[in-house]
Amino acid sequence: MNEMIYNPMEEFDRKFKDLHLENTKKHFDMLTEQSHIDVEANRKTVKEHKRLSENLKKIKRRYNLLRVLRILMYITLLLIPIVIWKVTPRIRALKAEIERADQRIEELYELALSQMAPLNALFTDRDSLMIIEQTMPLVSFAPCFTAQQEANMVTNYDFEAESEENGSTVDLLAGEYNGNPFLFENRLCHTMGTELYHGYKTIRWSERYRGSDGKMHTRTRTQSLHATVQKPKPFFTSQVRLQYCAQGGPELSFTRDATNLDEKNERQIERYVKKGEKRLKKKTDKAIGKNQSFTSMSNTDFEVLFDALDRTHEVQFRTLFTPLAQTNMVDLIRSQTAYGDDFHFIKKKRTNTIITEHSQGRAITVPASAYVSYSYDYTKECFIGRNTEFFKQVYFDFAPLLAIPLYQERPVHSLQPIPDCPHAYSHRECEALSYAVSTEYTVHPSTKTQAILRSVPVRSEGGVDEICIKSFSYDIVPRVDYVSVHGDDGRWHSVPVPWDDYIPLTSSHSFFVASEALAAEHFIMAKRGGLCIFN
């Protein structure tokens, strides 16, 4: 059965959205059946818990109202006997009732939680991935990102083995789409910038002036002086990206940025396209004059909206972007549903990077803890809702790639042999594991900022990798600069401007990475995707 997607937008609405919802419900029902929990008993417990919780709110309101009333009655001395005989006993009774209700509500909560315990224990971080694999059989997710997988991507797909020095991998998810390797990666990036700091000082002085009565008077004037200093400051940002490896266009590179055209109406889009057509003509004329290879496609809608004008290989660009691919891409960009054109597309030879605005800030996978609760109905609603939204995010991360039919074809197996790897796990996988370890073991003790963790392989033996985690962070030391500012009193004043001095810190720590079976006898510091990090 051919599972290729020929129209990503249409097939999501017509097929995959409902299919994934159905698979999600089936998966949850399967877990419910395996857990053997008594659903109706839990619903009864939760209902009683909710009823008592609502009643407790009413009791607390009456209790607080009586306490306020008692204070007011104390102020009126004549009402003190009534306070003693009537109000205080009622307050004590309500307080006792609140304590009993609190205890009963806690007991019901614990009971409901125990009723749900068998189901809560069945949830895993891979539930969301298994459902996607069922919905889209061409997609498969790997348990972890091995050094062998990374070596294949480097050797056969121009993947960059060494990530940028100013960033590291916080989380990742590797897999294949019809044999084409891909990697979701959440990266923490560090850049140096500047911060403008402000300082203030109030000055006072006396001055003589002649009043309306013709006499001289003295008055005090004040002025708030303002000064600024600009100092270096590190900034940390996270970025979720999808890197997809495919053999199509092996010498082609280009970039395109999101246009967010879904925020514009049809008339505004038409004006945007017409303006782009003029820019295209100028670029084509310039290329002809300089004997360059750029030639605009006849589909100007695609050319303007996709806007990959820095492409390096015209023939391979046209091979990728067939008429169907152009139509798919324009439909995706102009879509008023889903997320619209919120994707950046960077192609460097055989590695394609997709950065979508809708995926920034999301978790790479849905953690099992996202579903755990004391209420069956809430858990079911949460499970279905979280997985539905997660699938939509992942699908539309892939959508710009699915728009190109050539990218869905299986890779030709005339690839170069993958060299032997001296270690088992990629440095990205080891970095992601190190972020799961408590910072007291990974960063300098004086650290007051986020930290960039970099993994360096040391040696590997018997399926256990020894790694060195190097951390880069900053201490923050308060400083004060004094800036001279001229005041209206005719004098210069030193205005204090407090600022933060960011002092670079580094540290190195050795760890070991292995499967749970090999790490079982050691002090495990964190687990992730079946792997453990220990020392």
pLDDT digits (tens, 9 = 90+) for 480-497: 999 999 999 999 999 999
180 and 217 housed in the same domain = yes
425 and 497 housed in the same domain = yes
Q: Give the mean pLDDT of 15-32.
A: 97
Residue 216: pLDDT over 60: yes
Residue 1: pLDDT over 50: no
CA distances (Å), 17 to each of 30, 128, 345, 391, 442, in order? 20, 14, 24, 9, 42
Residue 83: pLDDT over 80: no
Q: Give the mean pLDDT of 124-153.
A: 95
Residue 329: pLDDT over 90: yes
- Res 90: pLDDT: 73
CA distances (Å), 235 to each of 142, 162, 474, 518, in order? 32, 22, 11, 38
Q: Give the mean pLDDT of 250-276.
A: 85
- Res 288: pLDDT: 63
Residue 45 lies in a domain: yes
Q: Residue 54's pLDDT band (boundaries 50, 70, 90)?
A: confident
- Res 81: pLDDT: 61
CA distances (Å), 365 to each of 31, 107, 133, 244, in order? 19, 33, 13, 17
Q: pLDDT tens, 465-479? A: 999 999 999 999 999
Q: Residue 87's pLDDT band (boundaries 50, 70, 90)?
A: low
Residue 4 lies in a domain: no
Q: Residue 404's pLDDT band (boundaries 50, 70, 90)?
A: very high
253 phi and psi angles, rounded to 5 deg: -135, 145
Residue 247 lies in a domain: no
Q: Give the mean pLDDT of 186-208.
A: 95
71 and 150 housed in the same domain = no
Residue 280 lies in a domain: no
CA distances (Å), 348 to each of 177, 243, 521, in order? 19, 10, 44
Of residues 449 and 207, which shows the higher confidence score? 449
DSSP-H helix ranges across 13-87? 17-35, 39-75, 80-82
Of residues 64 and 448, which shows the higher confidence score? 448
- Least confident range from 14-18, 92-96, 234-238: namely 92-96
* Distance between CA atoms of residues 96 and 92, nearest Å: 6
- Res 100: pLDDT: 85
Q: Residue 65's pLDDT band (boundaries 50, 70, 90)?
A: confident
- Res 287: pLDDT: 62
Query: What does the buried/exposed string (b/e) look like for 129-163 if buried means 16 or more CB atoms within 10 Å of the residue's CB?
Result: bebbbbbbebbebbebbbbebbbbbbebbbbeeeb
Q: Residue 337's pLDDT band (boundaries 50, 70, 90)?
A: confident
91 and 150 housed in the same domain = no
Of residues 288 and 241, which shows the higher confidence score? 241
Out of 88, 120, 152, a domain closes at: 120
Q: Which helix (H) or strand (E) holds 277?
A: helix 266-289
* Distance between CA atoms of residues 33 and 37, nearest Å: 8
Residue 292 lies in a domain: no
- Res 123: pLDDT: 96
101 and 56 housed in the same domain = yes
112 and 194 housed in the same domain = no
- Beta bridge mates, 531: 515, 528
Residue 249 lies in a domain: no
Out of 120, 152, 187, a domain closes at: 120
Q: Give the mean pLDDT of 356-376.
A: 94
Q: Provide the domain limits for residue 104.
A: 36-120
Q: Exposed, middle or buried: residue 455 (CB in 10 Å: 0-12, 13-18, 19+)?
A: buried
CA angle 190, 171, 238 (to 5 degrees): 30
Q: Which of 327, 325, 326, 355 is nearest to 342 (CA)?
A: 355
Out of 120, 152, 171, a domain closes at: 120
Of residues 138 and 296, which shows the higher confidence score? 138
Q: Are strands 180-210 and 139-141 parallel, antiparallel or unpaired?
A: unpaired
Of residues 37 and 101, which shows the higher confidence score? 37
Q: How many domains does the chain have?
A: 2
Residue 321 near residue 348 (C-beta atoms within 8 A): no
Residue 396 near residue 274 (C-beta atoms within 8 A): no
Three-state secondary structure call for residue 173: strand
- Residue with tokens 């407090």, as numbered in its chain: 498
Residue 524 near residue 504 (C-beta atoms within 8 A): no
Residue 409: pLDDT over 80: yes
57 and 160 housed in the same domain = no
Residue 145 near residue 174 (C-beta atoms within 8 A): yes
**Alpha carbon distance, N-terminus to C-terminus of the chain:** 48
Residue 17: pLDDT over 80: yes
* Distance between CA atoms of residues 369 and 127, nearest Å: 12
Residue 277 lies in a domain: no
- Res 78: pLDDT: 47
Distant-in-sequence contacts of 29-38, Cβ < 8 A, 24+ apart: 31/119, 31/122, 31/123, 31/127, 32/119, 32/376, 34/122, 35/118, 35/119, 35/121, 35/122, 36/118, 37/115, 37/116, 37/118, 37/119, 37/376, 38/115
Residue 504 near residue 472 (C-beta atoms within 8 A): yes
Highest-scoring range by mean pLDDT, 53-67, 131-145, 325-339: 131-145
Give the CA diameter of the chain: 104
Residue 244 lies in a domain: no
- Res 267: pLDDT: 81
175 and 89 housed in the same domain = no
195 phi and psi angles, rounded to 5 deg: -125, 135
Residue 453: pLDDT over 70: yes
